[in-house]
Structures are given as C-alpha cells and as structure tokens.
A and B are shown apart, each in its own frame.
Chain A
C-alpha cells in the first residue's frame, strides 16, 4: 500500500493492534458503514494500513453526508457568504451577524428528519435541543426558535401520529428550556408521506465581545466532557441520517434515535454561558452528530492541532461501553470544552453549581493526530486533517427527470367555471396548508423571556432587544412544489418569500441560513434538483444582499425509493431599527383603504388551488420570480412602513390574493373584519383570485394616506393601486373580478380558518399507533 499525498497529512499513524473483542474489518463491514470501495481505498491510503474497527467507525461518521457534506460541499461553495455585517460565516456552529448597538445575532437551522420519521416526539425534541446548543456554544443566549415542518396527507392516521408527535416534541423541549417559539411554517403534501421534515431554527443574542468559537487551542490544554453522561443512544445517527429509509426502517431504527432531556439542557445552557463568561475555557462545542468524534476532531481541526482522548475517562451511563460506542454515541445535552490548563477545578465548580458533571477526557496535542486510548492503550490513531478536510467531495451527474419536464409543460386543467369561487375560497381557507396554525403554536410558549413583539401567525416573528429600540425578525419559507417543478426558480421563490415576509413586519432582510432537504443525490434527477436549487438560492441572495451564513444539508430523504419534494428551507433574519415600525398582517379598521403592490398574473402552476381541486395535481410552471422587481418591492414596503402610515402589510402566497385578503380580514381572530375589493384585471377567475404570482403585498392605510403611499411605491418603480376598502365584519368578504364575485361571510371564513387543524387533529383518534403506517 502506498500513501496518497493528502495535503496536511503530518505523517502516517502508528500501528494499532486490534482491540480484543472488536469485530474484524471486512469488505462487508466497510459497506455496512456506508463507505464506498473508492472511499475505503482512500481511508487505507491516509492510514497507510487497514483501519481498526474503531477507526472505521470514526471515518464512517465523519465522512457521512451529515458531517462531511460530501455530495453538497462543492455546490455550497458557490453561495454568497460575505457582507460587512457578517461576523462569522459558514464553518462555525452557527453564523453570526451584527445587528447594531453592540449586539450580534447567532442563528442557524438544522434538520432532524430521519429520527422524526421513526420516533416523532424524541426526533423533534432533540432537533430543538441540538440547534439550541449550536447557538449557546457561540456565547449567545437563545432568544427564539422557529420550526419548519413537512408531512404527508393528514387523512392518514400515521401522518397524524407523526404530526402530533413532532409538534409535542418541539413544544415540550422549547417550553421547558424557556425559549419562545416565534414562527415557522408547515406544509402537507403526499410527497412527504414516508419522510416528514423537521427543521428547527434558533436565534441567539450576544454582545460582540462575548463571541466564542469551537476551537481546541493551546497544546496541553485539557479537553473536558461536560453535561450529561454518555450512553448507547444515537450511535451512528449521522450515518443513519445519510441513508434512505426503508419500509422496515422505522421501529428497528429506534436505537439510532437520541433521547432528549430539556431540563438538563436548561442547566447546560446556563452553565455554558457562565463558563464562557468565566474565562476558564478557550473553546466549546456541542457533541452533536457523530458525538465526541466530530466535536473533538472539528475543534482540533479549526486550531490546526491534534487531540488525544481516553474513552475510559468519559462519564458513561452504563458499563461495558466500547471505545467505538463512546466515540459515536449521540447522547444529548453534552458539550466538549477546552479548558485552560490549571483551571479544571474552576470548570468543575461551575458545572457542579448547575448539578452537572465535567471530567477531563483528554488534551490538545501538537502532532496533528486524533488519538483515542482506552485505559492508556491506543485503539485509534488517525491524522486529524484528512478526517475533517479530506472527506471526499463529489460532483455528481445531474439531469432533470423527464416526467418533471412533462408535468411542468402540461396544459393545466383549470376551468373558470368550476368550482364556484366563493366555495373555492371557503375550501382553500380550511386547507391545512393555508388554515391558521394556531393548533401548532398554541402548544408552544411564545411569550417567555418577555421580548416577543411578533408572535407566530403573521408573516414573520420578532423579538425586541431589551435596552434598545431594535428588534430582530425571522421567518422560514419554502414551497417544495415550486422547487419540484422548477428547482432554480422554486428556490428563488423561497428566498423571495422569506424576504417579503420580513419586510411585511417592518424588518430589513439581512442574512439567511438554509436547510437543504433532498432525496438521494446519487440519482441524477435528485442531484439536478440540488444543483439548480443551490444556484437559485445564490442568485436570490446576491440580488437581495442576504448572504448565507451557514445551514444544514439533509439528503437521502426517500422511502422505498420515493423522494420528497426538494425542499430547500430558507431561514431568514432581519433587523427592525425601531419597534415603532413593527407592522402586522391584520387589517385594523373598517373604512381603511386596501392597496395592492405588484401585478396579478395568470400563473397557476404548483398552486394550492390545483392541488386541492384537481386531485393532488402538482404541475405547470411555478410562478416566475423577477429578482430585481422583488428587491424594489421589498424596499418600497419598508419605505412605506417607515412613513408611519401603514396599518397592515401582508405577503401574498399560497392561495393567492383572495386568501391574502381573507387572512388580513380575519387577523388573529379577536376582531375580524370584512373586505370590499374590486379587481379590474382581465384574467380568468382562478388565476385572478387564487393564482400564486410572486412579488405581491397587500397593504392597508387610512383613506387620507392613499396618495402618499402610492407615491412611495411609484418612487421605487413598484406597480401599486388601490383595490378597495376594509369593511365591517358584518359586510363579509366581497371580492369582485373576472366577471364574477366572491362573497363569504366573515364568520364562515373564520370558522374554517381557525378550526380546520383542530377539527382534524382533536376530533380524529390522534394517537394512532406507530405501527399504523400502512393505513
């Protein structure tokens, strides 16, 4: 065997005797660890020998898609990551941006899809736990959580079981730790039947000077395991998350799912922030995916050092754990800390105050090796840099699936006569994709920390920064149907919608984190989706000056060979300079004028209307996105809001203009209003009322201020016009156009909108069992 010339490889590792009792490394064992023959050849070249069982496990985890990004790294490198306000871009536990007045915001989104598919409650709960740790290990206090969810059709008991479990898991964890949930989104589509998506985003606030990163600095400094003990749960979770699910994967895969304890997380959060402030440590990182292995190697990698760990020193929950298990366990609520030499007892004292443990498990070395011992006997020795940096990356073949091209070009079966537009609105408003998500966020604490100034249910959530006039706003968005039909355009639409949502609450879009949820990238049509979606995100982020500061990739979201809709969820954050400019989506009073910004079109492709009234059809060209027009629209909406004259602003999204108007009329449900609107456009009724053309916002203001606001729009080159007035609730929702008319009673719309999800979830036997998945 000859050594490959891998950059950064200091030297070949020493020979390591096989550990008695460990399995022999055979080709079959290698394949079971998810390494291809080529990758295994590379492993042997780096090692200069056959790896031990423990070493193989380490390579398998670090070179999984989840840790190594091997199928996505080359694409991700094309994304814009720079701006003057970016403090930390991709590569850290979370991105960090400046938000003014000496404050910095850490934020990131992460998926927990595979675990949630087999154990929804724990899968979702630990997803929240993991993203919280990514934030507070930067030195930031978590201030808000958002959740972006996708499920199959709610008529299936299995889907209701997954949905109910995920919502309870997200809620119980965040509620207990005491972080308000301020928003997110959910979509239901048959494409997610076997593979629900659970993406959690967290925002954290800190003073600039409190920033700390995950580096193992200072040769000789001790590495300390902090927090919960290590058990056998979640072993190989990272590898599991990088494979397709099979029909029988559910219950049998449960040992790979981690179990969360939010109470310990709360203690760990307080202890970690106290540790960081104490000056006794130089680096801290969550033991997340691939546990101790990834945290130790990544921390060493960032500092250009090596590390040595003795697994016998790691506090464990059960006896007899092997080094392999200890290295790859994904037990939750654990941190790895580099302490300053001589400060070990100070670290222990802080952890003890919070009733947690801290133990020295190893030290930082200067030889560039990731060395693992068990009671002083070396069981693994791997050059650290190749482990973290030389993970093979691939550019795969990407070709669009013929069937998708065919679907996109299909003539759509939209007829203007059927269904009656009033009935269509009543039906759409109760579609789980459009109806109020109160059933979900009613289970989430949204007001703890007394900073929430925009709760879930509007276009975006927001939390104020105490002691300043500022607030930060956040949203998550992605319509997977659009991305499925046209990945590049659909991804642009996701970024554009996120930005529209932010400006509607009065926030300037600032940066994004993204969660790329896709199928198996080894299939050319999936890689095509991934490549084109990343391209679209990059284009939109450049146009809007919202750089990407990090994110997460979740591939292999397939069950029995069937992929989800490609779903690149965009988590966008924005800054509100003055909370006086906070704006909501609800109309304020009858008699106010209603303005529409942006143009109506006859685009119906990928719409909820098609899906709802044409048997789940996902076809046609999704609405096009004009990035320059979107940018002008964003600036116009903000300028209008800054005049102080805007009473409400609401993005036009799924369900189109009629749904947007109805949502603004219904508001939060306390004081619903009516609408009296006339649309002069020469368009077929379905497109006019329910088409999902991009770049549209509905604004309301006092009658006297109409001209002033239309002028602001004109100054930005944005088409705007008055389309009608807010009416009292008793007048109902009336929208005339296309030679016909929508008329619905406000009370009927309110009933459909606010009760749709609870009538499905609370009426049906919600607790369908885990085994019910064939129904």
Chain B
C-alpha cells in the first residue's frame, strides 16, 4: 500500500499519520498542498492540525488548496480517502462527506481519551475490528460537534454511514459518553460509496501500548489488508 499524507500550512498531525502508516508496514510519503497529482497513491490521508490556522472556519480555506482538486477527483473515482480531525473537517468542507463540524458543546478545546464503538466492520477502514468493539482513542479538538440537517442525518443513519459512535466506558451510546455534543453520538462516518471516511478522534495516537492504547491500529491494518486484497477499486 502506498499512502500519501497531505501537508497543508498548519497541519500538525501529518508526521504522526505518516509514522502510523509506516508502523503497519505500508509505504508513506508526504504531499505538499501546492503539489498537483497524487504520485500513484493508493490511499490519501488528510491529517489533523490547524490548516490555515483554522481561520474563517476549520477546513474552510484548505479545501481551496491546489491539491484538493486531485483529492476530490481521486475520491470521485473511488479512491480511498481518510480524514482525521482537521482532515475530517476539510472533507466536509470539500463536500466529500455530509454534515459539518461545529464548536464543541462546551465551547472549549477538549483533549481527552474517549471511548467509541465500531458500528460497521464491512468497510475498507474497519474490517479488522470486531462488530461493537469498544476503542479507547485520544481526541483533541475545539470543533468536533457533528451536525447535519434532519434529512441528511436520516440518510447517514439509513445508509448505515456511521463508522464510529462515542460511547461511555460500558459501551452504551449515552450523553455521558458523548464528549462534544455530536448528533447521534457520531464520531466518524463513511460516504455512501464507502471509500471516503472521516473521524474526529486520533487513531494514529493509539498505535503502541507505551502511548496508552493500541486500539487505533485496526484502522491502518484494515486499509492495508483491504488494499492488498484488491478490494479498493
């Protein structure tokens, strides 16, 4: 698997994502936001951070970066795209994923380890997880409160597009387990075609026991396995 990690001005989890990809034995390279072409990448990853300082609105400026034209075309052609944290915000702004991420209900930046539940295991991104598996993953964001209009939300749920839901430590989707006020406790979604996913928590920060959790590895091994099996097209 050849994975391309896009660096925008202000990206600050690009290196973490790059290392996570390498940790599962895949090939990783960086792409600069002004580059054109995706360099034969099998999968494109948009990292966390504060692209363009999150000025105007998180992800609102990054979507106009030259490389985003290529990312959108790649996604429309069925190429797998992953957006984490700021990357998720950029994918929503770019129209590749439905909904929007607004300020946390607390109106604060929140940094903590959250529990989330795997809602689907039949995707490129989650096939190595068990259905209903609880994951302990760090999150760190100020704008991760997932919102969608009622019709969109209905479609997201109806088409089974929720990949991860915030839960309490016992595995129940409850207000106590929801850190930021997201609708339906949504932590991560996939598009209807199943090739573009976004999530707010940081699986790349949960790759090793010494960092406190290995629950994030499944996302990267799933992708590796899926692409190796040729199910990416």
- Using CB atoms and an 8 Å cutoff, list the residues of chain A in contact with chain B: 168, 171-172, 175-178, 261-264, 266-267, 354-355, 441-453, 455, 464, 466, 579, 582, 670
Q: Which DSSP category, helix, strand, loop or mixed, fits chain B's interface?
A: mixed
B9/A263 in contact, CB under 8 A: yes
A443/B111 in contact, CB under 8 A: yes
CB closest residue in chain B, given A443: B109
Chain B residues with CB under 8 Å of A264's CB are 53
In chain B, positions 89-143 with a C-beta closer than 8 Å to chain A are 108-112, 138, 140, 142
Chain A residues with CB under 8 Å of B52's CB are 263
Q: Once the chains are docked, how many angstroms separate the CA of A177 from the CA of B53?
A: 9
Partner of B50, one of A262, A441, A446, A447: A262
A450/B53 in contact, CB under 8 A: no
B109/A175 in contact, CB under 8 A: yes
8 tightest A-B CB contacts, nearest first: A178-B12, A263-B53, A445-B140, A176-B50, A447-B138, A450-B16, A447-B205, A445-B111
Chain B residues with CB under 8 Å of A464's CB are 210
A450/B207 in contact, CB under 8 A: yes
Chain A residues with CB under 8 Å of B144's CB are none
Q: Once the chains are docked, how many angstroms separate the CA of A582 from the CA of B212?
A: 12
Q: Which of A264, A442, A447, A579 has the most CB of B within 10 A?
A: A447
Tell whether B27 is near chain A: CB-to-CB under 8 Å: no
Chain B residues with CB under 8 Å of A670's CB are 169
A579/B50 in contact, CB under 8 A: no
With A176-B10, A266-B50, A443-B108: A448-B210 Cβ-Cβ less than 8 Å? no
CB closest residue in chain B, given A670: B169
User: What are 11 of the A-B contact pairs (CB < 8 Å)?
Assistant: A262-B50, A262-B53, A263-B54, A264-B53, A443-B111, A445-B109, A446-B140, A447-B111, A447-B202, A448-B48, A453-B210
Q: Once the chains are docked, how many angstroms separate the CA of A447 from the CA of B13?
A: 10
Chain B residues with CB under 8 Å of A261's CB are 53
CB closest residue in chain A, given B112: A442
Chain B residues with CB under 8 Å of A455's CB are 212
Chain B residues with CB under 8 Å of A266's CB are 9-10, 12, 50
A355/B140 in contact, CB under 8 A: no
B210/A449 in contact, CB under 8 A: no
Q: Once the chains are docked, how many angstroms separate the CA of A446 from the CA of B53?
A: 19
Distance in angstroms from B54 CB to nearest chain A CB is: 7
B109/A354 in contact, CB under 8 A: no
A172/B109 in contact, CB under 8 A: yes
Chain B residues with CB under 8 Å of A444's CB are 109, 111
Q: Once the chains are docked, how many angstroms separate the CA of A737 from the CA of B104?
A: 47
Chain A residues with CB under 8 Å of B202's CB are 447
A448/B16 in contact, CB under 8 A: yes
Q: Once the chains are docked, how many angstroms separate the CA of A449 from the CA of B169?
A: 26
Tell whether B218 is near chain A: CB-to-CB under 8 Å: no
Q: Once the chains are docked, how many angstroms separate the CA of A449 from the CA of B211?
A: 11
Q: Once the chains are docked, how many angstroms separate the CA of A441 from the CA of B10?
A: 22
Q: Once the chains are docked, how many angstroms separate the CA of A263 from the CA of B52?
A: 7
Tell whether B49 is near chain A: CB-to-CB under 8 Å: yes
Q: Once the chains are docked, how many angstroms separate the CA of A442 from the CA of B169?
A: 18
A176/B54 in contact, CB under 8 A: yes
Total contacts A-B at CB 8 Å: 85
Chain A residues with CB under 8 Å of B142's CB are 175
Q: Once the chains are docked, how many angstroms separate the CA of A357 from the CA of B158?
A: 51
Chain B residues with CB under 8 Å of A168's CB are 108
Q: Once the chains are docked, how many angstroms separate the CA of A304 from the CA of B23?
A: 49
CB closest residue in chain A, given B51: A263
With A178-B49, A262-B53: A448-B12 Cβ-Cβ less than 8 Å? yes
Tell whether B74 is near chain A: CB-to-CB under 8 Å: no
Contact size range, B: 20 to 34
Chain B residues with CB under 8 Å of A263's CB are 9-10, 50, 52-55
Distance in angstroms from A268 CB to nearest chain B CB is: 11
Q: Once the chains are docked, how many angstroms separate the CA of A447 from the CA of B54?
A: 19
Q: Which of A168, A175, A452, A466 has the most CB of B within 10 A?
A: A175
Chain A residues with CB under 8 Å of B50's CB are 175-176, 178, 262-263, 266
A450/B205 in contact, CB under 8 A: yes
Known: A354-B9, A442-B108, A447-B138. 19 other contacts (CB 8 A): A171-B109, A172-B109, A175-B142, A176-B53, A261-B53, A263-B55, A266-B12, A442-B110, A443-B108, A445-B109, A445-B140, A446-B138, A447-B211, A448-B12, A448-B48, A450-B207, A453-B211, A579-B210, A670-B169
Chain A residues with CB under 8 Å of B13's CB are 178, 448
Q: Once the chains are docked, how many angstroms separate the CA of A442 from the CA of B138?
A: 11
Chain B residues with CB under 8 Å of A267's CB are 9-10
CB closest residue in chain B, given A439: B108
Q: Once the chains are docked, how many angstroms separate the CA of A135 from the CA of B21?
A: 29
Partner of A450, one of B55, B108, B169, B211: B211
Distance in angstroms from A656 CB to nearest chain B CB is: 29
B191-232: CB near A (< 8 Å → 1, else 0) gives 000000000001011010011100000000000000000000
Q: Once the chains are docked, how many angstroms separate the CA of A582 from the CA of B50?
A: 31
Chain B residues with CB under 8 Å of A451's CB are 211
Q: Once the chains are docked, how many angstroms separate the CA of A562 from the CA of B211?
A: 45
Distance in angstroms from B83 CB to nearest chain A CB is: 17
In chain B, positions 9-35 with a C-beta closer than 8 Å to chain A are 9-10, 12-13, 15-16, 19-20
Q: Once the chains are docked, how many angstroms separate the CA of A354 from the CA of B10?
A: 10
A447/B140 in contact, CB under 8 A: yes
B52-90: CB near A (< 8 Å → 1, else 0) gives 111100000000000000000000000000000000000
Distance in angstroms from B34 CB to nearest chain A CB is: 9
Q: Once the chains are docked, how many angstroms separate the CA of A177 from the CA of B50?
A: 8
Distance in angstroms from A766 CB to nearest chain B CB is: 10
Q: Once the chains are docked, how many angstroms separate the CA of A452 from the CA of B16?
A: 12
B53/A448 in contact, CB under 8 A: no
With A175-B109, A176-B10, A267-B10: A449-B16 Cβ-Cβ less than 8 Å? yes
Chain A residues with CB under 8 Å of B169's CB are 670
Chain B residues with CB under 8 Å of A446's CB are 111, 138, 140
Distance in angstroms from B72 CB to nearest chain A CB is: 23
Distance in angstroms from B131 CB to nearest chain A CB is: 25
Q: Once the chains are docked, how many angstroms separate the CA of A453 from the CA of B210?
A: 6
Chain B residues with CB under 8 Å of A172's CB are 109
Partner of A442, one of B20, B55, B111: B111
Chain B residues with CB under 8 Å of A442's CB are 108, 110-112
Q: Once the chains are docked, how many angstroms separate the CA of A354 from the CA of B112?
A: 31
Chain A residues with CB under 8 Å of B109's CB are 171-172, 175, 443-445
